[in-house]
Amino acid sequence: MEEVKKENMEKEEKEVVSKNFIEQMIEKDLEEGVYEQVCTRFPPEPNGYLHIGHAKSILLNYGLAKKYHGNFHMRFDDTNPTKERQEFVESIKQDIQWLGADWGDTVYFASDYFEQMYQAAVKLIKKGKAYVCDLSADEIREYRGTLKVPGKESPYRNRTVEENLQLFEDMKNGKYQDGEKVLRAKIDMSSPNINMRDPVLYRVARMTHHNTGDQWCIYPMYDFAHPIEDAIEGITHSICTLEFEDHRPLYEWVVNELEYPHPPKQIEFAKLYLTNVVTGKRYIKKLVEDGIVDGWDDPRLVSIAALRRRGFTPEALQNFIELCGVSKANSSVDYAMLEYCIREDLKLKRPRMMAVLDPIKLVIDNYPEGQVEYLDVTNNLENEELGSRKVPFCRELYIERDDFMEEPPKKYFRLFPGNEVRLMHAYFVKCESFVKDENGNITEVHCTYDPETKAGSGFTGRKVKGTIHWVPAPYAVQAEVRLYENIVDEEKGVYSEDGSINVNPNSLTVLKNCMVEPSFDDAKAYDSYQFVRQGFFCVDVKDSTPEHLVFNRIVSLKSSFKINK
């Protein structure tokens, strides 16, 4: 009995250890009755495309709501119309749906609460907790002080409640120019936390909003709007990244002063940093504007749209985020770990097809002209459920140029004069001769085949050391293949001294005359495959057509990354 009890205790201890610190806090709140049901949210500002760091926040917030049988809200924090566009709203929705986070029937917008935010500001004024200030932005910054020097009070700090109410209404009614007046919280100009030194709550800004048009000429600041949005929606745990840790006292001040009955709790976690990648929106925007990439979804970027276009799967990203874990300490993750996750996800799911990226013709001189055999080829040797396909085999084929050498080095086991190899899924062939053009480039390799050596026939007469893949020349489909490397020159680092990106000049190689087997005839956007001996590839969503197939390399087959299992 004691042994069983001990085993149960050890099991419970392991379960506790396996929970991250956020889960532990949520469970404590539920046990103590602080909240009856968990409600989380993902609140992006629609001023650009989401990147892989956002994927961590999306999956974390959605995963917690799902785990604790709660609700998950999708909310756009659209309080700054200068940078926000409907295009970004739509792209964000698409990214989140693709990742598998389900927000149900409702999408929330901060702008839906502008009237409530205005009334909340009025309430603070009436409580003597907010005032209208005439200082300019530079003067406010000067008055704020430093980490070592306390701030000094604005000369407008002690206006009467009545005067503040009238001035704030005048701000709303458009009587002042942009930047002429702001509404500030009245907290503590000597606070050691600079965020608490009478922060700005509202500013005058004549901007057309994507959602509310020209209805408003004053807009709330993020630090004021965000806690109100959370409180209105009944968010229980407002989960954000570590840079907001110093803003938490202001978050709590807002919800407490506005007397919300069940104030949400802000919890911070470490951001996801990937080595040698560009995630900053202003940097990506410049890459787009300079024409270095072909958009926010260029497969060399790590925006979610770019990863999707390149051929990454939601499952691979989910696994990657899970492996990264949730912590309070900032750290960087090697990009190779992300590549490991997509290889692991695709290797059993995708068919292994033959594609020749740099073709030369191989002619089997003793194979009957006009004869065609349809060979049975297993789609994935590690997953029989993917079935098989028929691939035509004939006298003329395409092989990779580097699968033949006139004068090979030692331990080169592919084709060279006099050597014999196996053609994958087919026969042994022996190189008899080759043809060069006037520039000395090899254009054809001539072989003979042994009809007794057909794959699957049980032939055991002799062995060969090399196996090469091929594509039947008369049935081959021409395709364009794009090989992607890191957009960043890794030797120089991400950023140069002037703040610009060190761009890798070899980040994209385009191969125009690749040949793929006819089984690709029905390939469509986002379909992905393993090209044998090459890597994993995906049909490009932007440029590929049935008449002109374009494949993006997702990831090569080789990896230096090792995971502890």
pTM of the model: 0.89
What is the separation of C-alpha 19 from the centre of its chain, rounded to a whole number of angstroms? 25
User: Would you say residue 16 has pLDDT above 60?
Assistant: no
What is the full DSSP assignment across 35-53? Answer: -SS-EEEE---SSS--BHH
User: Looking at residues 267-271, what average pLDDT do you find?
Assistant: 94
Are residue 76 and residue 127 in the same domain, yes or no?
yes
The domain total for the chain is 3
pLDDT of 157-167, one tens digit each? 999 999 999 99
For helices 86-99 and 314-324, the axis angle rounded to 10 degrees is 80
CA of 138: how far to CAs of 144, 187, 223, in Å? 10, 20, 19
pLDDT of 335-379, one tens digit each? 999 999 999 999 999 999 999 999 999 999 999 999 999 999 999
DSSP structural state of residue 190: T
Q: Return the H-helix or E-strand segment holding 154.
A: none
Q: Return the H-helix or E-strand segment holding 284.
A: helix 281-289
Are residue 384 and residue 345 in the same domain, yes or no?
no
User: Looking at residues 260-275, what average pLDDT do you find?
Assistant: 93
Q: How confident is the model at residue 68 (pLDDT cuts 50, 70, 90)?
A: very high
User: Looking at residues 409-413, what average pLDDT do you find?
Assistant: 92
CA of 234: how far to CAs of 72, 73, 204, 319, in Å? 11, 10, 29, 30
Are residue 37 and residue 179 in the same domain, yes or no?
yes
User: Would you say residue 495 has pLDDT above 60?
Assistant: yes
Q: What is the predicted pLDDT for the residue at 463? A: 92
Q: Characterize the bridge pairing of strands 218-220 and 396-400.
A: unpaired
Q: What is the predicted pLDDT for the residue at 216? A: 96
Q: How confident is the model at residue 279 (pLDDT cuts 50, 70, 90)?
A: confident
**Sign of the dihedral through C-alpha 348, 351, 354, 358:** negative
Q: What is the predicted pLDDT for the residue at 258? A: 98
pLDDT of 191-210, one tens digit each? 999 999 999 999 999 999 98
Q: Domain ends where: 469, 495, 510?
A: 469
Q: Which residue has the tokens 């003793």?
A: 366
Q: How confident is the model at residue 18 (pLDDT cuts 50, 70, 90)?
A: low
Give the C-alpha separation, 348 to 299, whole Å.
23
Are residue 147 and residue 234 in the same domain, yes or no?
yes
Task: Provide the mean pLDDT of the chain.
Answer: 93
What residue numbers bound the domain in which 249 lies?
A: 22-269
Give the C-alpha separation, 53 to 72, whole Å.
19
User: Would you say residue 120 has pLDDT above 50?
Assistant: yes
Q: Domain ends where: 214, 244, 269?
A: 269
Start-to-end CA distance of the chain, whole Å, equals 33
pLDDT of 504-541, one tens digit each? 999 999 999 999 999 998 899 999 999 999 999 999 99
Are residue 519 and residue 431 in the same domain, yes or no?
no
CATH number at residue 531: 2.40.240.10
Q: Domain ends where: 469, 490, 521?
A: 469
Which structure tokens are listed for 517? 């087997």
Q: What is the predicted pLDDT for the residue at 458? A: 84
* Spatial CA neighbour of 339 closest among 554, 485, 487, 506: 554
Are residue 109 and residue 224 in the same domain, yes or no?
yes
For 260-266, the CB contacts below 8 A with 24+ separation are: 260/231, 262/35, 262/234, 262/236, 263/231, 264/227, 264/230, 264/231, 264/235, 264/236, 264/237, 264/238, 265/25, 265/29, 265/34, 265/236, 265/237, 265/238, 266/227, 266/238, 266/239, 266/240
Q: How confident is the model at residue 403 (pLDDT cuts 50, 70, 90)?
A: very high
Q: What is the predicted pLDDT for the residue at 65? A: 96
